[in-house]
Copies of this chain bind each other. A is one copy, B any other.
Amino acid sequence: MAKGKVKIVEVGLRDGLQNESTVLSTHQRFELLEKLIAAGTKTFEVGAFVSPKWVPQMAVSKELTDLVLKKYPDQKKFHSSVLVPNEVGLKGAMETGIKEIAIFASSSETFSQKNINCSIEESFQRFEPIMKIAKKNKIKVRGYLSVCFGCPFEGDVPEKKVVELAKRLYKMGCYEISIGDTIGVATVNQVDSLFKKLKKVIPITKLAGHFHDTRGQALANILEAYKVGVRVFDSSIGGLGGCPYAKGATGNVATEDVVYMFNGMDVNTGLDIDKLCAINRWLEPQMNHALSSRVGKVGVLKV
């Protein structure tokens, strides 16, 4: 395999924490982010500008984003991003001066209804004003597409549907589309097949892989996606997060585990694995449960 380079998008502070029962303070989150940045993290989600009534875990997002942008104002170097569900969220995010947001759509109708209480079509309608305002204000928009490999309510999700929606997100101006295996059901052949179809209609450099490790398949799937040409992957420090559709299950693939794999492939992530493992050890006691990362537990071999 040729030497390469990938971009790791750290989603632990948003997609990770959002699915944890322990609530970290703004201070704890900021400390975590500082440690991640010291370990080489350049691209990260800070939080979500959603109603604290619906997602109490994200209530401190505004406060945290303010802190982050004060300490790391150079957004061309440190790529902070927040999730916004609608115009209200966008306006809240804009008050912080953040230059990147993320929007999210579902590839299954039932998941869309259950997750964001509207149809897929309605969600895309909500994106229109968001994209317009974002464009006007030079705010980059990342698009998440969820349950691309299987839906907890509908089961199989047609590839055609995923490709159509991903293309729509791209055409409406998303600079990157993150293809999500939200419930960790994807398998290698699915990954191979879907990304090959996606890259016919969207430049592969604009696609990201977002794999959950619910069934332990995330690294194999990332390896396969890498072989198809994907060079951007979302991951979560320590494997923070969980799966609301499978109690006790693990969440996002752990950043440490992904970096271990890429290090072994001579693929540069820009991240320091020893520092990531140290973050894991610092973070675990604060989360009140064992983190799911495997590399984080044992570190790299030292003799």
Contact = CB atoms under 8 A, between A and B. Distances in A.
B295 A188 contact: no
Contacts of A297: 246, 248-249
A266 interface: yes
Contacts of A261: 187-188, 217, 220
Nearest to A301: B185
Contact of A266 (B189, B216, B300): B189
A190 interface: yes
A180 interface: no
B189 A1 contact: yes
Contact of A249 (B190, B192, B298, B300): B298
Interface string A199-231: 000000000000001111101101110000000
A265 interface: yes
Interface in A223-260: 223-224, 243, 246, 248-250, 254, 257, 260
A246 B150 CA distance: 35
Contacts of A222: 220
A288 to B, nearest CB: 16
B215 A260 contact: yes
A165 interface: no
B219 A265 contact: no
Most chain-B CB neighbours within 10 Å: which of A150, A213, A248, A261?
A261
Interface in A276-303: 293-295, 297-298, 300-301, 303
Interface string A178-189: 000001011111
Contacts of A215: 257, 260, 294-295, 298, 300
Nearest to A253: B216
Given A192-B1, A297-B248, A187 B217 contact: no
Interface in A131-187: 150-155, 183, 185-187
A213 B301 contact: no
7 contacts: A189-B265, A216-B257, A216-B260, A220-B222, A220-B261, A246-B297, A249-B298
Given A220-B223, A223-B223, 17 more contacts: A152-B301, A155-B301, A187-B261, A187-B263, A187-B264, A215-B260, A215-B300, A216-B219, A216-B294, A217-B257, A217-B260, A219-B219, A220-B220, A220-B222, A243-B298, A246-B297, A250-B294
- Sorted nearest first, the 10 A-B pairs with minimum C-beta distance are A187-B264, A216-B294, A155-B303, A246-B298, A219-B220, A216-B257, A215-B295, A220-B223, A185-B301, A249-B298
